[in-house]
Structure 1
Amino acid sequence: MRRTSMMLAGAAGLAVAAFALAQDQSDEIAKYREMLAGDNPAELWEMKGEELWKAKAGPRQATLEACDLGKGPGVLKGAYAELPRYFKDTNKVMDLEQRLMYCRMTLQGLTEEQATAAHFGSTDKPSDIEPMVAYITAQSRGIKMNVPMNHPQEKRAYELGKQLFYYRGGSHDFACATCHSGDKMRIRMQDLPNLTKTKDAQAAYTTWPAYRVSQGEVRTMQHRLADCFRQQRFPEPMYGSEAITALTMFLARNANGGVYNGPALKR
Structure 2
Amino acid sequence: MRRMHQYVFAAIAAGTSALALAQSSATDEIAKYRQLLADGNPAELWEMRGEELWKTKAGPKQATLEKCDLGKGPGVVKGAYAELPRYFKDTDKVMDLEQRLMHCRMTLQGLTKEEATKRPFGSAGNPSDIEAIVSYVTAESKGMKMAVPMSHPKEKAAYEIGKKIFFHRAGAYDFACATCHSVDGQRIRLQELPNILNKSNAQQAYTTWPAYRVSQGEVRTMQHRLYDCFRQQRFPEPVYGSDLITAMTMFLAKNADGGVYNAPALKR
* TM-score calculated relative to the size of structure 1: 0.96
Give the Cα–Cα distance (whole angstroms) in 2 for the partners of residues 232 and 209 of structure 1: 21
Alignment deviations for residues 29-68 of structure 1 (CA, whole Å, 9 cap, x no partner): 0011111111111000000000100011111111000000
SS at match of 2:39: helix
Give the Cα–Cα distance (whole angstroms) in 2 for the partners of residues 48 and 227 of structure 1: 24
Give the Cα–Cα distance (whole angstroms) in 1 for the partners of residues 5 and 258 of structure 2: 51
Asked if 1:66 is matched to 2:61, the reply is: no
SS at match of 1:265: strand
Give the Cα–Cα distance (whole angstroms) in 1 for the partners of residues 13 and 211 of structure 2: 37
Give the Cα–Cα distance (whole angstroms) in 2 for the partners of residues 197 and 92 of structure 1: 28
Q: Which residue of 2 aligns with 1:41?
A: 42
Q: Which residue of 2 aligns with 1:101?
A: 102
Q: Which amino acid aligns with 1:80?
A: Y
Structure 1 gaps of 5+ residues are: none
Q: Which residue of 2 aligns with 1:237?
A: 238
Give the Cα–Cα distance (whole angstroms) in 1 for the partners of residues 6 and 175 of structure 2: 35
Q: Please report how far the alpha carbon of residue 80 of structure 1 lies from its aligned counterpart in structure 2 after TM superposition.
A: 0.3
Percent of aligned pairs with the same residue?
A: 70
Instruction: Number of aligned residue pairs: give it.
Output: 267
Alignment deviations for residues 193-227 of structure 1 (CA, whole Å, 9 cap, x no partner): 11112111111101100001111100000000000
Give the Cα–Cα distance (whole angstroms) in 2 for the partners of residues 8 and 171 of structure 1: 37
Q: Which residue of 2 aligns with 1:77?
A: 78
Deviating beyond 6 angstroms after TM superposition, the runs of 4 or more aligned structure 1 residues are 1-8
Alignment of 1:168-247 (within 5 A): 168-247=169-248
Q: Which amino acid aligns with 1:261?
A: N
Q: Which amino acid aligns with 2:179?
A: T
Give the Cα–Cα distance (whole angstroms) in 1 for the partners of residues 66 and 77 of structure 2: 9
Q: Which residue of 1 aligns with 2:134?
A: 133
Alignment deviations for residues 102-160 of structure 1 (CA, whole Å, 9 cap, x no partner): 00000111111110111000012210000100000000101110000000100000000
Q: Which residue of 1 aligns with 2:57?
A: 56
Q: Which amino acid aligns with 1:109?
A: G
Alignment root-mean-square deviation, CA? 1.5
Q: Which residue of 1 aligns with 2:256?
A: 255
SS at match of 2:219: strand
Q: Which amino acid aligns with 1:119?
A: P
Structure 2 gaps of 5+ residues are: none
Q: Which amino acid aligns with 2:50?
A: G
* TM-score calculated relative to the size of structure 2: 0.95
Q: Which amino acid aligns with 1:142?
A: G
Q: Please report how far the alpha carbon of residue 17 of structure 1 lies from its aligned counterpart in structure 2 after TM superposition.
A: 2.6
SS at match of 1:108: coil
